[in-house]
Amino acid sequence: MSTRQPPAAPAPEDMLQQPATGEATGPVTSEATEPATGEATGPASADVTGPATGKATGRASGEVSERETREVVESSRETEWSKPSFMQELFLGRLRMDLIYPYPEPDPEDARKAEAFLERVEDFLATVDAERIEREGRVPDEVIEGLRRIGAFGIKIPEEYGGLGLSQRAYGRAISLIASKNAALAVLLSAHQSIGVPQPLKMFGTPEQKKKYLPGIAAGEISAFALTEPDVGSDPARMEATADPTEDGDAYLLNGEKLWCTNGPIADVMVVMARTPAQKPGGRRGISAFIVESSWEGVSMDHRLEFMGLRGIENGVISFKDVRVPKENLLWGEGKGLKLALITLNTGRLTIPATCAAAGKWCLQVVRRWASERVQWGAPIGKHDAVAQQIADIAARAFAMEAMADLSASLADDGGYDIRLEAAVAKMWNSESAWRVADQALQIRGGRGYETAASLESRGEAPIPVEQVLRDLRINLIFEGSSEIMRLFIAREAVDPHLQHAGAMVDPDASLGDKAKDAVGLGAHMAKWMAGNAVGYARWPKHGDFGPLAGHVRWAERAASRLARHIGYAMARFGPKLERRQAVLGRVVDIGAEIFAVASTCSYALHLNADPAFELADAFAKGARRRVEALFDALFDNDDAFNYKLAQKVLEGRYEFLEEGIVDAPTRADVDPAEVETFARADLAGVPVDADA
């Protein structure tokens, strides 16, 4: 299925639902993630808003303390592990290959329906002018209508509500195919289905809500997800949007502003997060989820936003002023909104790994052709070692990305696994690998990689948009959990079994006596656990059923045991301060991610049962093993403390002399707000608008 335009790795949900900062400020004892933003979330505390007037009035006490944010975030995370998790077991030192091998097989009927749908998708994509979308920065109405005709807005919606009822794996394949044509199309559909109204509605909606909204959404009513606000970064307790009950008790009055809402400018219906009154006197105002229709009075699409990549997406600023939301449109219950979003994300995040894998495959195809045809210094450039090494890395990583994406989606479809860690690791690892692969592809293409597709075509060359791939992929390291936030989230879940024994040891307000008491229990737990990981035997002939890859699986088992010991040592060495050693925690997570990637590629290769697959898995595992050794070496032998102190000096202005001789970056907007509003409103409508209208 070869197409000309590049694959984006767009994500579901509120597309740019966080500032492009990769904020990673929360402690590891918090769930450092957030539904559509990659930021910490949880039910927010009472001092983020004013009185229950139905309007966001600002912070009562100015700022929110770290303790309050910690409590907010912890209260929203899933605390139970009722189903097995490969990654949780891995961080405990146990390589449970039995959880991922034999490889999960797709349902035959789902596979049959998926193939038929993919054929319709490919036929439709042949009619789409992807370059027009990139050039004009919009998806034409006729393209959206075409997506409606083939059922693309209801891929995962059950058939009883008019959808296709396909699996997560089939959905990922379809979005990946669409992304390989144009990024904006994939963003449109993934923001609509992965965390827009359909997914949380399927999981948490009432029968009446499903009957009311799902048929229209499956038919093509566009949905969105509104969470992020201008002042909400990685601190969820700063949320200001409010939803307060009306006097008659029949509805809520919604007030506030949401930022970076993908599909917002064209959405028919959306999930909106807002603070609802505390459920008991003196308690925190929770965050709740509501189904809101864009046509309701008081809903305003204020600005259509533009970005470095994904130029055809519809993303905007939305404001709500005294919007009357029927009480029947509350999802799940008051105070459960962020937990709803976090649970939804367990599968919602899986779109990024899938589309990143597609990007890797697209780059591999481009590089293979170019490096075979382009001759320099008497030989195709692929024959030169410097280029060949990059090609090998692209091929190995492309195979690993596909293995991780496909395996994670298959585990989600099975329903018998807890995939919160697998989804997070696949999102983090695939997004970073896809960026590396695209960067290498651009380097190999040279000037033609940097040149736009339109420019290439204008002078008679194939319009291969490698630079667009790079621009479109960059956001994946930021949204749906920036790489920094993902590492904190994964680390938090990795140490969760130990924190359950920590008690007062991790409570900043506990007395010294209570801390000492619980320290004994934690010490006994850690001693027993460390003893169980002291050896980690995994030698020949263990895992012999993996054939030529058995050695890599045995290594993965030994590495998992070694990682567990290092986690124990880190907890003993740093104690409660471990939550501040984010670079150490990041290396722990990176080691676990590489081990998961090796295990996934080995299982996937055996599933494919072909020599080329074995060769690619072998190549990837060899590289991963070297990276893991380097990470182990740097785990405790590093310059982290020195670099942290240096960074603080930078912030204090000690090195401002380095900023001399440049034109200063802007620090404020230099345009009249009325002019900005006029532009935004005109842009949304497609016609000039009088500023006073």
Active-site positions read 480
Q: How far apart are CA 324 and CA 539, in angstroms?
A: 65
Q: How far apart are CA 640 and CA 498, in angstroms?
A: 25
Residue 561, CB-side half-sphere exposure with 13 Å CA sphere: 13
Phi, psi of 536 (to 5 degrees): 65, 55
Task: Kindly state the tokens that stand for 326.
Answer: 């029927």
Task: Kindly state the tokens that stand for 49.
Answer: 């808003």
Q: How far apart are CA 629 and CA 105, in angstroms?
A: 33
If we measure between CA atoms, which residue out of 373, 8, 11, 412 comes closest to residue 190?
11
Q: What is the DSSP string of 210-222?
A: HHHHHHHHHHT--
Q: How far apart are CA 394 and CA 542, in angstroms?
A: 30
- C-alpha dist (Å) from residue 14 to 298, 345, 536: 21, 12, 43
- Cα of 394 vs its chain's centroid, Å: 22
∠ Cα 24 303 308 (to 5°): 55
Q: How far apart are CA 124 and CA 129, in angstroms?
A: 11
Contact present, 335 and 43 (Cβ < 8 Å): yes
User: For residue 187, what are the contacts with CB-CB under 8 A and spacing of at least 6?
Assistant: 8, 10, 11, 15, 262, 310, 312, 313
Residue carrying the six token digits 């990041």: 586
Q: How far apart are CA 535 and CA 523, in angstroms?
A: 20
User: For residue 181, what are the contacts with CB-CB under 8 A and spacing of at least 6?
Assistant: 3, 4, 5, 125, 128, 130
- Return left, alpha or beta for 543; rule: phi > 0 is left, psi -120 to 50 is alpha, else beta: left
The H-assigned helical ranges of 180-231 are 183-193, 198-204, 207-219
Phi, psi of 476 (to 5 degrees): -65, -20
